[in-house]
Chains A and B, each alone.
Chain A
Amino acid sequence: MTTSRGNRPANAIDQTRRMLSLVTYLRERPGARVADVARAFGITGDELIADLELLPMCGTSFRGGDLLDIDTDGEHIWWHNPAALSSEAAQPLRLAADEATALLVAARAVATLPGLREGDRQALLRATAKVETAAGETAEASSRLSVTFESEGGVFADVDRAISEGRRLWIRYWSPARDEVSEREIDPIRLVSVGHTYVEAWCRRSEARRTFRLDRVAEIRILDEPSEPPRIEPRDLSAGLVQPSADDPEVVVEVGPAGRWVAEYYPHDAAEELPDGGLRITIRTPAPESLRRLALRLGPDGRIVAPAELADSARGAAREALAAYGEDGDGLFDAAATTGPAAPADPAGAGAAPAGA
């Protein structure tokens, strides 16, 4: 049905790729266990069974009749005619360009993670070099893709150590909503790198699960107390770190063309085009007051439309700030020359994980 390269069904490609490796693998291992093979291939038992149902319909000879006689009793896998595939045809296949790129780019990125243990980093670098050699010229294109993880080095190393030693952490953490650094004790659960690096932890002060962005940790100490996070299901982060709930209040922001970056940084429910090239963005957040800093940052490039209290609060803060410059903030004349675009690489409050707000 789909004919264009971009949106062909990915599973047929991935399944073919996998089955080609599977025949090589099974040929060497008569009676292999379903569970072991599924683990080795990083697939579920059901996926493997689906492959095993398909393989007996495949063969090497254009004359037919040489189908692979592979079957399973659900526990072991038997190949009754391994000679149907010559040993040459069953050789491990060279890496495709995309395969080499995907593996090498990821390996190089992971190797730069500051929290990686030195032994693991060395193993990864050795493996990367071997894969580069084996991939040969198909590895070339992998240099056209690269990924840098953020590196809050010292903090990362301490969190990683606390997790592996099962110890509690004391941190001073900056909360963007209140512009305040506060102390808390946390029982770290895991480190997650999605652009920035975060630690997911059980916060002893709020008795709740919290996510802390490492570049907002002002100070950190590993405590002697054991870390005892309650047993909780890990959050599924595939949809992003910030997952506002449907009950959270809505904030509506209108931005001009120069404020369109807001839609790139803040997860939002809706972004409606405005006639002047701007956007009307609806953001759902458990802490609307945390968006006051956004209103201030936007300056001439946007404003809070709702709720009214939040808009008032931003105006009030700006007036108070102007007082320090000897302006009363009332009867303002038009500010003629505004500054250039101020789209940030990273506004201080953007993408605020629901961390101890």
Chain B
Amino acid sequence: MAIAKAERLMNLALCLLGTRRPLSKRELRASLEAYMEATTDESFNRMFERDKDDLRELGLVIETVENLDGEVGYLARHDSNQLPPITLDAEEAAALGLAASVWQQARLAGAASGALQKLRAAGLPEDVDPYATHGALEPRIPVHEAAFEPLMLACRDRRPVVFDYRKATAAAPEPRQVEPWALECWRGHWYLAGWDRDRGAERVFRLSRITGKVRTRTGAFTAEVPDVVRVRETVARWAGESAERSALIRLRTGCGYPLRARATAVRPLGDGWDEVEIPYGHGLDALLVEFGPDVVAVEPAELRADVIDRLRAVAKG
């Protein structure tokens, strides 16, 4: 039976952590049972390179050193792999316990637990139920988008990407070349901010509109990464939440709570209708039409015309 990958990685990690001098590939191959089983140099080399990458992903700093004979050796020095001293009290430990449980994405959920386990090994207090002090609160970070993981890695490693992207209104996706800066989750959806190379400008992308695979490209970023990347402000503007104008509508009494919730003024007209002032941003026409005959757009004329157009389209079926 093939030796479990976890066993192989664990042995390699312990060898590299336990040694005081660099170990050559030859020595490692002769000491790990899994490597001894490799039938060709090529398959051993491939396995070894992949294992080293995996251990580095787990945070291990592995140094490559050339010895006097020109042979390459590897070791994981204690001083560069040691967690600096950290002392957390029971309350802090419980708070981190809650935070570590919110990811609904396999890689980040695993990484968050891993972080907590390392802190646990370093003495993080454990006699507290993480939920007990936080009452009934169960925050979760949803990640449904397949593009999330490759983009997270590309943001982390600052690597350019290409992907097919379908704009909200476009029938077909088109390829985009992007230098990814940051990902942000707002209202349960993930967005990417970055530099769009073809347009030569900053753009925000919604991950659910990325079709197909995200591919990384070699080479460095060409545009400077801003100190602060604002994703939410851009998305809120799309959502019509940064309206500068105001509209006047009539609303049947008791109807349209979401419109009332954002109204700046409500005046009962006494005939079963209220007159309501509401911020006029992108998409207000479509929102008003949702309420059918219970809302009438009064002004501006442009909004009124847009609402009538939409209603006509629905009436035609």
Instruction: Indicate with 1 or 0, residue by residue over B83-117, a CB within 8 angstroms of chain A CB atoms.
Output: 11111110111111011101110111111111111
- From A24, A92, A303, B317 is in contact (CB under 8 Å) with A303
A-contacting residues, B159-216, CB 8 Å: 166, 168-172, 181-189, 206, 208-209
Quick check: is A185 within 8 A (CB to CB) of the other chain? Answer: no
B103 contacts A17, C-beta separation under 8 Å: no
| Total cross-chain contacts (CB, 8 A) | 453
Can you name 22 A-B residue pairings with CB atoms under 8 Å?
A8-B54, A57-B11, A60-B14, A62-B15, A93-B121, A101-B108, A106-B112, A110-B99, A144-B229, A145-B183, A163-B136, A164-B135, A174-B257, A189-B136, A192-B138, A192-B139, A193-B137, A216-B258, A317-B314, A337-B309, A340-B169, A344-B287
**B309: A residues at CB distance < 8 A:** 299-300, 335, 337-339
**A194: B residues at CB distance < 8 A:** 140, 142, 188
- From B31, B113, B314, A295 is in contact (CB under 8 Å) with B314
Chain B at the A interface: mostly helix, strand, loop or mixed?
helix
B-contacting residues, A208-262, CB 8 Å: 215-216, 218, 237-238, 240, 257-258, 260-261
Which range contains the number of A residues in contact with the other chain? 35 or more
Closest to A161 in B: B135
Quick check: is B81 within 8 A (CB to CB) of the other chain? Answer: yes
**B92: A residues at CB distance < 8 A:** 123-124, 126-127, 130
A98–B105 CA distance with the chains assembled, in angstroms: 12
The stretch from B62-70, B234-242, B264-272 touching chain A is B234-242
For B, the interface residue count at a CB cutoff of 8 angstroms equals 145
Quick check: is B311 within 8 A (CB to CB) of the other chain? Answer: yes
Quick check: is B313 within 8 A (CB to CB) of the other chain? Answer: yes
A107–B96 CA distance with the chains assembled, in angstroms: 7
**A3: B residues at CB distance < 8 A:** 50
**A40: B residues at CB distance < 8 A:** 120, 126
**B169: A residues at CB distance < 8 A:** 257-258, 340-341, 343
**B80: A residues at CB distance < 8 A:** 94
> Given A102-B108, A147-B184, do A257 and B95 touch, yes or no (CB 8 Å)?
no
Q: Lowest 6 A-B CB distances belong to which pairs?
A: A195-B188, A277-B171, A345-B239, A96-B59, A60-B18, A299-B310
B58 contacts A96, C-beta separation under 8 Å: yes
**B185: A residues at CB distance < 8 A:** 146-148, 195
Closest to A313 in B: B292
